[in-house]
Chain A
Amino acid sequence: GAVVSQHPSRVICKSGTSVKIECRSLDFQATTMFWYRQFPKQSLMLMATSNEGSKATYEQGVEKDKFLINHASLTLSTLTVTSAHPEDSSFYICSANTRSASEQYFGPGTRLTVT
């Protein structure tokens, strides 16, 4: 299957600072990338859909000014959590689709802790 990486795998930051998470498709070009958040013992929650070269589409209730998404190339999307607060602490996971298939491959996730 296709490989998606994320960096960093784990990050601790102080309240009020910003954190950038990178998502890369390593062996394919991703037409679309997705960003999810998952709280402990809860389902995946889709935050936004990102297409290369265009603005991300955010799900209802997700603040676009707080969660900045940039999809500058067919292999890289970034999520920046701005002015992070403890309630933003969560497991952030990206995924990507190949050009020719609807199969979605997930990155390993980034565990964010805001102190």
Chain B
Amino acid sequence: QKEVEQNSGPLSVPEGAIASLNCTYSDRGSQSFFWYRQYSGKSPELIMSIYSNGDKEDGRFTAQLNKASQYVSLLIRDSQPSDSATYLCAVTEGSNYKLTFGKGTLLTVNP
């Protein structure tokens, strides 16, 4: 069974710090990797996608992928209270586009 594992948290960081969120996945056939942000009571919002090994930066967000270690991470620089949310890691295999989600990490950024 395909699994995506995340530390459930809560992860608490002070405003302005770097928040580091981690995710591991079990299926070596996974090809696409995503980070979603979900505020309480809202639907998930796609914030990063990554498909090849290495780093991908978008504003304050950096996604890192290591397929050999089956590991994907998300760094949030200069964390803001508005970043407080649950962050969901998701992976897909092949072309069926079906997402397998982790259970999410609750991030709290303290002013």
Q: Which positions in A face B, CB cutoff 8 Å?
A: 1, 32, 34, 43-44, 46, 49, 91, 93, 97, 102-109
Contacts and interface: CB of A to CB of B under 8 A. Distances in A.
Interface stretch (B14-22, B62-70, B92-100): B92-100
A35 B41 CA distance: 17
Given A44-B44, A108-B42, A109-B42, A103 B49 contact: yes
Contact of A109 (B32, B43, B49, B95): B43
Contact of B32 (A32, A43, A102, A107): A102
Interface string B45-89: 110010000000000000000000000000000000000000010
Given A103-B34, A106-B46, A109-B42, 11 more contacts: A34-B98, A43-B103, A43-B104, A91-B41, A102-B97, A104-B46, A104-B90, A106-B44, A108-B42, A108-B43, A109-B43
A93 B43 contact: yes
Interface of B: 31-32, 34, 36, 41-46, 49, 88, 90, 92, 95-99, 101-104
Nearest to A105: B46
B99 A46 contact: yes
A46 B88 CA distance: 14
Contacts of B92: 102
Given A46-B98, A97-B97, A109-B42, A104 B34 contact: yes
A105 B101 CA distance: 14
Contacts of A34: 98-99
18 contacts: A1-B46, A34-B99, A43-B104, A44-B44, A44-B88, A49-B98, A91-B41, A93-B44, A102-B31, A102-B92, A103-B34, A104-B34, A105-B46, A106-B36, A106-B44, A106-B46, A107-B43, A109-B42
Contacts of B98: 34, 46, 49
Between A44, A108, A109, the greatest number of chain B beta carbons within 10 A of the residue's beta carbon is seen for: A44
